[in-house]
Amino acid sequence: MTDLERAACYGIQLMDLTTLSEDDTPEKVQALCRQAISDAGKTAAVCIYPAFIQSAKAQLKALNAEDILVATVTNFPHGNDNVDSAVAETKAAVEAGADEVDVVFPYRAFLAGNEEVGAQLVRGCKDACGDKVALKVILETGEIKSPELIKKASLIAINAGADFIKTSTGKVPVNATLEAAEQMLNAIKDTGETCGFKAAGGVKNAQDVADYLALTQSILSSEWITPAHFRFGASSLLGNLIATLNNQQPSVQSTGY
């Protein structure tokens, strides 16, 4: 197996297979759930709008694939600074059965100098999630831009209780970049390596996957790279990874890169 094929195998098991389009329907979400199961392995999760949580849960149960997690989004994609609204959306998502919630950090308020509202929002949403539902905090790094500010936002989110920090919504011109990932991974290292990382938006192929895995390995370790700590958020990536495997059916039982 080539290095790119190996990266493709890991990319599949680390993926949050995503549809967050305005024209999403229950049928589209059910099709996404079916796509999450391939001869090359299962994705870690599907990520969909809150309205489709029950559709996704029912489809995964019918497919005997309840080990695939259901993630959803809140405060999305705008990243407003209304803490009560973000917390209410997160509570509703948890009550609807989400296994994970990806909430958008109030990055505009942060850029305007208000660092406290981000911490308040993350704390409130983590309280709503409790211990059983993972909270991923979307920083929108392409809008924050500054490496120093990306690291500062990462530290705010981690210290406020984020289970993962995530690069992007996929709804802005610049999404995941290796430069932003480096700052985020260093923040994770500096805070004890317990928070996870998710690259979302712009991760298109096996080479992209390999690049992110290599960067993470250089800052943290190969053992750290598991679905419990590392994810890719993507829509088109799965098909490209399967194509890279050239019709192989590799085992993806290993839990480390």
Catalytically active residues are 102, 166, 198
Residue for token digits 């999450």?
36
Residue 11: closest CA among 198, 223, 219, 221: 198
Mapping DSSP onto H, E and C, the string for the chain reads: CCHHHHHHHHHHHCEEEECCCCCCCHHHHHHHHHHCEECCEECCEEEECHHHHHHHHHHHHHCCCCCCEEEEEECCCCCCCCHHHHHHHHHHHHHCCCCEEEEECCHHHHHCCCCHHHHHHHHHHHHHHCCCCEEEEECCHHHHCCHHHHHHHHHHHHHCCCCEEECCCCCCCCCCCHHHHHHHHHHHHHCCCCCEEEEECCCCCHHHHHHHHHHHHHHCCCCCCCCCCEEEEECCHHHHHHHHCCCCCCCCCCCCC
